[in-house]
Amino acid sequence: MSLFVSFEGGEGSGKTTQTDLLRQQLERVNVQYLFIHEPGHTNLGEHIRTLLKGNRFGKETISKGAELFLFVAARAELVSKVLKPSLKNKGAIIIADRFADSTIAYQGYGRKLPLDLVGSMNALATDDITPDMTFLLDCPPEVGLRRLGVTQIELGVQESEHVGRLDEEDSRKFEELPLAFHERVRQGYHELAQQEPGRWCIVDATKSEDDIHRKIWKRFRNLLETNGVDLAGNLTADDLLRPLDTPN
């Protein structure tokens, strides 16, 4: 049986740090995994990443619809060329930094595109593959954005929650969009988690890096063990000394 786990969260929620820590932990205990980060990992995906995140168009924006198609196209390619073949390998462990839920949260709730259409496009791209578990790194958007260097005034916190650095249509960089956009993204994630509580594990991303890592590792380790991965055999004396099971 294979295992597919995704990480989700808003801007500055610490996903990259936490996926890095989890990967280091897995390497320490000799557990093989495949790590994917959308959009990317295929030729088409890498091109799309450059289109979405690069400076190719300077400040020129991409329409909401085109943005949606680009994320979904990259996912369709990733699923058919990388994810599906990998999941066929018995015992495969796949960790994703963002997956289809990002599109619902960002393009559906954030950009306000119709949720049913976003859902149908995701279904087509993923072939209905859903993660076995999704960690949501949850924090108020102003906390995440401040970590990325966005100031109080730029956030508009002191004036009105709807004032950001730029208007909603004015940037391809999500971190430059108004606070209200990020609040909708967070709300979207919460609604998704409510719809499937068994899949989602909400982690308080305002806690320290170590606390968050311990909580994630504890859940991940349980998941591995329920999937028949005998971790004890892989743990070294050094790992056993680490406070992996410290209650959080």
Q: Does 138 bind ligand TMP (CB under 6 A)?
A: no
Helices in the chain by DSSP H: which ranges? 15-28, 43-53, 64-78, 84-87, 100-103, 115-126, 141-147, 152-155, 179-195, 209-226, 237-241
Q: Among 4, 7, 71, 181, which residue interacts with ligand TMP (rule: CB under 6 A)?
A: 71
By CB under 6 A, which span of 22-30, 54-62, 95-103, 157-165 interacts with ligand TMP? 95-103
Q: Does 102 bind ligand TMP (CB under 6 A)?
A: yes
Distances (CA, A) of 49 to 8, 182, 192: 18, 21, 25
By CB under 6 A, which span of 88-96, 100-108, 164-172, 191-199 interacts with ligand TMP? 100-108
- Chain positions 166 to 185 lying near ligand TMP, rule: CB under 6 A, are 174
Q: Does 69 bind ligand TMP (CB under 6 A)?
A: no
Q: Does 220 bind ligand TMP (CB under 6 A)?
A: no
- CA pair distance 117, 141, nearest whole angstrom: 26
What DSSP state is assigned to residue 106?
A: I
- Report the residue closest to ligand TMP, judged by CB: 106
- The answer to whether residues 244 and 38 touch, using CB atoms and an 8 Å cutoff, is no
Contacts to ligand TMP by CB under 6 A: 11, 38, 71, 98, 102-103, 106-107, 174
